[in-house]
Amino acid sequence: MEKVSSSSEASAKVTSIFIYPVKSCRVISVSQAPLTPTGFRWDRQWIIVNQKGRAVTQRNEPKLALVEVELPKEAFLEGWEPTGGSYMVIKAPGMDVLKISLSKPHDVTDGVSVWEWSGSALDEGAEAANWFTKFLGKTSRLVRFNAASENRPVDPEYARGHNLMFSDQYPYMLLSQGSLDALNKLLNEPVPVNRFRPNILVDGCEPFSEDLWTEVRINKFTFEGVKLCSRCKVPTINQDTGIAGSEPSETLMKIRSDKVLRPNRKQQGKIYFGQSLVCKDSLTKGRGNVVKVGDPVFVLRKVSSAAEAAA
């Protein structure tokens, strides 16, 4: 049963905003980020693909955790556009620095695939390809989402009419500090938030409150909570070393599996941590479409238990 909240008090506030320009590489933490219909600007706009055009991620190449990505600070100001001298800078242990122009590349590569989607993408060229080929030890290319010609819809069963770039499933993922703290109390070695790769970290609410949120307002924007975020093996990879272990997945399986949270639903052996979001507002340019650290989070609608949440 969904409840509509009439509370004028914020349920939480935004404490961190995270952007992952190259899918599966290191995070950039920012104080504000412009919203776009496909997620925060620059988030998962690039991916590395293998010689068959398939996305390479930490699931099959955990050492991508060691690849650092930097963007110009002003890239997170609303309305900023790259000039010919604007670059994304990529670094990794034992590698020269790679600079990628933020101006759109001209070459198009067909047959790029991420999960069930396939299409064309913009190819970042030979220097980037050689860099990632050398780092991973196998033929690789760096490609950029081609928003001018491609559309990648989210699962219409959960959020019809929304699109994303190279994120796994939905444009935004939110996690609460309370949930992370509750998990860490059960672990012998606490894990940092970077294991879970959220876009928005909030604090001030009870652990796992975000499971229940079906509609929230952050700043003046309304987000729909569309689906509990099911987790793959990436949270088991230490983001400082690129080495995988068994935690926190083993502990999450005991406290956050579908068997525990959704005992009366069809069991798929999944574990859940965080809430997937889409932005419900139409984002017209120049309207202050920015979320900032410190913004209050108001819960407008929620369900009464995780068993009732979409997953």
* DSSP class per residue in 220-249: TEEEEEEEEEE--SGGGB-TTT--B-STTH
Q: Residue 245 above 90 pLDDT?
A: yes
| 260 alpha carbon, distance to own chain's centre | 25
| Alpha helices, DSSP H, located in the chain | 126-136, 177-186, 249-255, 258-261
pLDDT class for 179, splitting at 50, 70, 90? very high
- pLDDT, residue 227, reads 96
Give the residue-averaged pLDDT of 146-165.
Answer: 95
- pLDDT, residue 288, reads 86
Q: CB-based burial of residue 251 (10 Å sphere; 0-12 exposed, 13-18 middle, 19+ buried)?
A: middle
pLDDT class for 276, splitting at 50, 70, 90? very high
Q: Which helix (H) or strand (E) holds 203?
A: strand 200-203
- pLDDT, residue 4, reads 74
Give the residue-averaged pLDDT of 291-307.
Answer: 96
Contact 75, 102 (CB under 8 A): yes
Q: Residue 6 above 60 pLDDT?
A: no
Residue type, 77: L
Give the residue-averaged pLDDT of 70-89.
Answer: 95
- pLDDT, residue 105, reads 86
- pLDDT, residue 212, reads 97
- pLDDT, residue 205, reads 97
Give the residue-averaged pLDDT of 76-87.
Answer: 94
2-308 is classed in which CATH architecture?
Beta Barrel (2.40)
- pLDDT, residue 188, reads 97
* DSSP class per residue in 253-279: HHHSBHHHH-TTSPP---BEEEEEEEE
